[in-house]
Amino acid sequence: MGIPPRVLTVAGSDSGGGAGIQADLKTMLALGVHGMSVLTAVTAQNSRGVQGAWELPAEAVRAQFRSVVDDIGVQAVKTGMLASAELVETVAGLLAGVDAPVVVDPVGVSKHGDALLAASALDAVRTKLLPTATVATPNLDEVAWLTGVRVRTESDLRRAADAVLSHGPRWALIKGGHLAGDAVDLLTDGTEEHWLRAVRHDNRHTHGTGCTLASAIAARLAQGRSVPEAVADAKDYVTGAIAAGFPLGGGIGPVDHGWRFRNH
């Protein structure tokens, strides 16, 4: 039996299982890669929101990363919740030494509006983390937070992408899921553009969509796909996961990471 491609997620834990490290590893399993993890923070989290968050020491993050990369190796890395400026800088420094695609999901707030990154870390994300990214995957709130550009219509997505690209990622995927109408995203490297559209499902159980999309992109990049191919396939996977999302608890339920298994 061949060894599957190895993908590392550097992110926080979601105790409710819908987002964060848990969503990343489920996505990687579903897409046929071996998922590994560097835990950056622990959250007390459920369908209603985040009740508490505790970041790990930079030393612990560095040790986890080195343990995995130096022994097992990686074909792609995905970053999510990094909590503080110190952890952003630590992770960015580690990524600078990795010869593999990097997908940066610049997580700032949870689906429920809870802060997952200190305001003081914003400059480190712009100047240290984004330049390491093969693909950066901000949603519209994160675009505004990082660049000051506010997207109100589909025509604003180009301006948002240019602003994100100015901070150094090779590609920007601007997720337009918060706009009205179809779910439209723009992927661009500043030269070529790929517009990705999907029917918007009438489903409020969308917890973990950002983590899932970034992890799916990383999985496909690890399998040798080009960035446009990886992003298009990841969009299809997430669209299906949203359609199959289910209620848990009294708030917003998760997407269904295993929807393809059940459909077969």
- Catalytic residues, which ones? 175, 206, 208-211
CB atoms within 10 A of CB 4: 17
- What gap in Å lies between CA 179 and CA 154, rounded to an integer? 8
Choose among 261, 104, 75: nearest CA to 173: 104
- What is the per-residue DSSP string for 163-175? HHHTTS-SEEEEE
Looking up tokens 């949603």 gives: 139
Count of alpha carbons within 13 Å of 244, Cβ hemisphere only?
14
Is residue 253 within 8 Å of 205, Cβ to Cβ? yes
- What gap in Å lies between CA 150 and CA 136, rounded to an integer? 17
Tokens of 235: 């969009």
- What gap in Å lies between CA 264 and CA 255, rounded to an integer? 18
Tokens of 60: 């612990």
Residue 125: DSSP 8-state? I
